[in-house]
Amino acid sequence: MVVVGVDGSASALAAVREAVREAAWRGCELRIVHAFIWPLMHVDVGASDAVPEGGLRRDAERLLAEATAVAKAANGRVEVTADLVTGGPAGVLLAAARAAQLLVLGDRGLGGFTGLLLGSVAVEVTAHCATPVLVVRGEARAGPVVLGVDGSPGSAAAVRQAFGEAGQRDAELLAVRVWHDAATTLSYSIPALYDSGAARSAEQQELDAAIEAMRKQRPDVRVRTDVVSGRTGRELVRLSEQAQLMVVGARGRGGFKGLLLGSVSQQLLHHAACPVLVVRHTPVEEPAGG
């Protein structure tokens, strides 16, 4: 199942169209979810007798009907269900995602402030969701699926997901490793002791090793690799300008363990020029006594 969250915004309807494509590729149903709650009072507000078409709940039902119509117009072969769920948006979506292969969100909702680059619900859900989250933003275009690889557990999970996405889309997969060339910042007396070429070669070997297993499992996927020097977030945002999808792990090797969403994935969610798929590493629990 693919789940998509809607709130009546144009961004959410764009997410519905992308979610339909993902469901069609997977051969599964699409569940459209709208979180409904009466502000502050938390009470049911059905249509009143005086205003038969009124009521926030009825408005929410119309919103779901519109999203369902958009989904069916995009692909009538995909089975679509729509649910109005009582609760706050983040909690409702996180609960719905537990039974899903993928959660799809728009990058901006109806709430918040115009100056924000990413809606607060998308930030909270992406930071906590164990299911891969696709945040639909930027432009729809042809191009490669770009995968950011850094060797972390989250990156390993992203590798598997990226191969699947590239295969479904019949797109080239560009696996990228961004590294910091110390020769660009070391003092003039030290670079003689530092072999930039050897360091780059080592980065390439780590990149090749990170995707080797999936490359063997999915020989149908066209793969290209690239080692890029620079700041990771900045370089991946630049590459997003030619990509149809960016895939990254939720957490990289840097940062603090208490952070649920790494700085690179956050930067992409705020600034990428195409949809971003964030994949969280979920450790396999050891059997009791094992």
Farthest CA pair distance, the chain: 83
Give the whole-angstrom CA distance, residue 208 versus residue 86: 47
Top CATH class, 145-279: alpha beta
Angle between helices 196-217 and 153-169 (to 10 degrees): 60
In the chain, where the domains are located: 2-136, 145-279
Q: Are 2-136 and 145-279 the same fold in CATH?
A: yes
Q: CA distances (Å), 104 to each of 54, 109, 139, in order?
A: 30, 13, 16
pLDDT value, residue 280: 87
Using only C-alpha atoms, the chain has a radius of gyration, in whole angstroms, of: 21
The distance of Cα 252 from the centroid of its chain, to the nearest Å, equals 15
| 26 alpha-carbon distance from chain centroid | 16
How many Å apart are CA 81 and CA 58, to the nearest integer?
17
* Mean pLDDT of all residues belonging to the chain: 83
CATH classification (class only), 2-136? alpha beta
- Which pTM does this prediction carry? 0.84
pLDDT tens-digit readout, 182-201: 555 555 555 555 567 888 89
Q: What b/e string do you get for 24-62 counting C-beta neighbours within 10 Å, with b at 16 or more?
A: bbbebebbbbbbbbeeeeeeebeeeeeeeeeeebbebbe
pLDDT digits (tens, 9 = 90+) for 96-142: 999 999 999 998 764 543 333 456 788 889 989 999 999 999 888 99
Residue 31 has pLDDT above 90, yes or no: yes
Task: List the beta strands (DSSP E) in 122-270.
Answer: 133-136, 145-148, 173-179, 223-229, 245-249
Q: How far apart are CA 70 and CA 136, in angstroms?
A: 16
Give tens-digit pLDDT for 234-259: 999 999 999 999 999 986 444 434 33
User: Which H helix or E strand runs over 198?
Assistant: helix 196-217
